[in-house]
Structure 1
Amino acid sequence: MIEIQMTMADRAVELLALPEGTSSFILDVGCGSGLSGEALTNRGHFWVGMDISKPMLGIAEEREVEGDLFLSDMGEGMFFRPGTFDGVISISALQWLCNADKKTHNPPKRLYKFFSTLYSTMKRGSRAVFQFYPENSHQLELITSQAMRAGFTGGVVVDFPNSTRAKKMFLCLFAGLLNPQLPTGLGTGSQAYSGQVTNSSQRQRFRNLKGKSLKKSRDWIKEKKERRRRQGKGDYKPDSKYSGRKRSNKI
């Protein structure tokens, strides 16, 4: 777990594309025990960490991490001065804002509060990179749309989209850039996606961010048959123009 956490943190820092040979001031949202902060320290950066869990911050203090630590709920917004940070990272924390852990919690409002206040704390032209695990396309769309509504541009970078175990999703946001160039995901066939969720056609695109075809579509059927053939399961007929065709409801 520690190795995985450190690897994802290193990748997040890489996606920040910080100037080489200089030390930057970074915010680590959901820093936990400080593992992701160590990736920043190892690269010569200074950082501030915030987390909602007091026990996890206690572990970070016991480990004597280099960053300053704050106990705070990111859903209640950022409290730092405008233009403070050269970049922001977050590992496995963002998706929790989609949950309503209390009666007073409203996920869309908490997400917008977080992103809008985060935007103001970042220097113009800087990046925020979130490694996260959305449960479904609805959560992915909710998170992305609230980020764009708060003023960010950017999108999702998928590393190793064709691997079940190695696949990782990173939300790369830009503060103050109108048409940013998203980084390319790692791995064969990796893809990067960007844009605002403003209409149904764009929402449809975000449903496919995990690198999979829509279920029951022609491409989905062909991929499933090919996968089964490689596994030696079943004897499927060759593909034809009728593969994946829609059938009428008549009996």
Structure 2
Amino acid sequence: MSRPEHIAPPEFFYNDEEAGKYNSNTRIQSIQAEMTERAIELLDPEGPSLLLDIGCGSGISTSIAESYGHVAVGMDISPSMLSVALESQEVEGDMLLADMGNGVPFRAGTFDGVISISAIQWLLNADKTCNVPQRRLNRFFETLYSSMRRGGRAVMQYYPESDRSQQMILDTAKKCGFAGGMVVDHPESKRQKKFYLILQAGGMRTLNTSEMSIEDEKVVAKKRKLKRKHDMSTREYIVHKKDLNRKRGRLSVPKDSKYSGRRRKAAF
């Protein structure tokens, strides 16, 4: 199957028809939701944060970030996708129509963290004579670094086309001031393999992606989920999980009622 970035520029590829798929296809919604949750786990924010969602598309990732208690600002190049986000998703933060290849248009130190799902591979797309991949990468990472507070992290899931393109992205990010590396989930599976670029904009937080395996990450994520569960009442946790499953497009989620989370009487 052809890669979308080989078919047309993103503002044309993600037209009304393609945006509609994101709003109606439960499989797409489920995959996007799963990758967003993984990105937030790797981001490891220190409490409620102001996040930038680059390539927010139809708003699935933005709304999930907000469901975790963060304030999120979405940014995308496709008017059709942003229209779906504003109409169909319960997104509370602002949405910005912008091309990430032209830079991140926010003042210095604005964001505590950044997430991006299935977007930054488009920076390597030379679909116009004015779109020089290396120039677009430089502009993107320079302005991204500036827009983040020192010590803030960015986690960007994407699909590298080759080892060369993957190295090009990482090298450019480091030249622009970031520290970081790659985490690859399910490296043995061609179908489930996912790449996450993890960057840190200076600061004192420890970031060591090279020594953290997927097994270690699963343990950390499990402990974090348990902590989040213990911070909620039983009813709050149940309602939270139902909301996440609805955002993933699952149709069999029970409706909320006054009995949700109520302890059952013992049967004799």
TM-score by length of structure 2 reads 0.67
Q: How far off is 1:42 after superposition?
A: 1.1
Paired residues of 1:37 and 1:65 also in contact (CA < 8 A): yes
Map Cα deviations across residues 171-190 of structure 1 (whole Å, 9 max, x no partner).
Answer: 00010148732272425999
Question: Equivalences for 1:60-209 in 2 at 5 Å?
Answer: 60-63=85-88, 64-177=90-203, 180-182=207-209, 184-187=212-215
- State whether structure 2 residue 7 is matched by structure 1 residue 7: no
Superposition CA RMSD, Å: 1.9
Distance in 1 (alpha carbons) for counterparts of 2:216 and 2:40: 21
CA-to-aligned-CA distance 1:173-227 (integer Å, 9 cap, x gap) = 010148732272425999xxxxxxxxxxxxxxxxxxxxxxxxxxxxxxxxxxxxx
* Rounded Cα–Cα distance in structure 2 between residues aligned with 1:149 and 1:113: 12
Q: Secondary structure at the residue paired with 2:190?
A: coil
CA distance in 2, matches of 1:36, 1:189: 20
How far has the Cα of 1:65 moved from its partner?
Answer: 1.6
Offset of residue 8 of structure 1? 0.1
Residue-by-residue CA offset, 1:100-128 (whole Å, 9 max, x unaligned):
12111100010010000000110101100
Query: 2:57 matched to 1:42?
Result: no
Amino acid of the structure 2 residue aligned with 1:8? M
Are residues 1:33 and 2:27 paired? no
Deviation, structure 1 residue 60: 0.4
What is the CA-CA distance between 1:56 and the residue it aligns to?
Answer: 0.3
SS in structure 1 of the partner of residue 214 of structure 2: coil
Conserved? CA contact 1:13–1:89, under 8 Å: yes
> In 2 relative to 1, CA 177–23 (structure 1 residues): closer, same or farther, beyond 3 Å?
closer
Q: What TM-score, normalized by structure 1, do the two folds share? A: 0.71
Distance of aligned partners of 1:48 and 1:188 in 2 relative to their CA distance in 1, 3 Å threshold: closer
Q: C-alpha distance in 2, partners of 1:99/1:165?
A: 23
SS in 2 for 1:101: coil
Report percent identity of matched pairs: 51
Q: What amino acid is aligned across from residue 151 of structure 1 in structure 2? A: G
Q: 2:143, 2:126 → 1: CA distance?
A: 20
Quote how far apart the aligned CAs of 1:47 are.
Answer: 0.6
Paired residues, what number? 188
List runs of 5+ in structure 1 lacking aligned partners: 191-251
